[in-house]
Copies of this chain bind each other. A is one copy, B any other.
């Protein structure tokens, strides 16, 4: 399978394009992940706005370079503005990322809401193996927001989901797998501590949106974000011990990429 890493010139070019374009990226996420997500986007030069204040969900998707929606936004918002933002992005032709965090973990009302957003044709769907397997309709054994499946286990389900929805589907794990249903690429690397810092997955969704705002091909944009995140995590992991300083160093390394 084709591998993409930060050594691929496309990746640094993609990050440089975010810095050059400084795209406005609008997101709906929750209060656990919001701070890190915004800081990840700021670290690569994007301009994030997060949240469902007043008419933001109606107005901002049309003006944004891209949108990301982490459905754990329902922690902080009613469902309606989240649907509205997805619908507004779809209507405006703004590309958007769906992060269906904790789908399949046993909350059936929540799961039904997540599935309903597929109607608005997300450009990219990202998650861990359990989440994406659940969303694809398979048997997952999600335990809260953690995964009990390996990313390899979910490649088939991801390809099915990509073909069914038209989205690029990205499975995070020790190796990440990205697919548009026809072409599947692997992004190796990263650091296990990415699973020990809250919001690290959601922040990758935000970074994908940043790349979608400036990189035309959706699969390439998704690979740019994953490979940049992986190399930043590796560099952060190499110089820190413990999860607190790892998260700080991750932001540092992202802010130094293509700077």
Contacts and interface: CB of A to CB of B under 8 A. Distances in A.
Interface string A1-32: 00000000000000000000010101000111
A23 to B, nearest CB: 9
A215 to B, nearest CB: 20
A72 B76 CA distance: 13
Identical chains in the assembly: 3
Max chain B C-beta neighbours (<10 A), residue from A48, A53, A75, A145:
A53
A198 B39 contact: yes
Interface residues of A, number: 66
Question: Taking chain A's interface residues, is the majority helix, strand, or loop, or is none over half, making it mixed?
Answer: helix
Interface in A27-76: 30-32, 34-36, 38-39, 42-43, 47-56, 59-60, 63, 71-76
5 contacts: A49-B145, A242-B256, A244-B249, A245-B249, A248-B248
Interface of A: 22, 24, 26, 30-32, 34-36, 38-39, 42-43, 47-56, 59-60, 63, 71-76, 79, 102, 105-110, 113, 143-146, 195-199, 240-245, 247-256
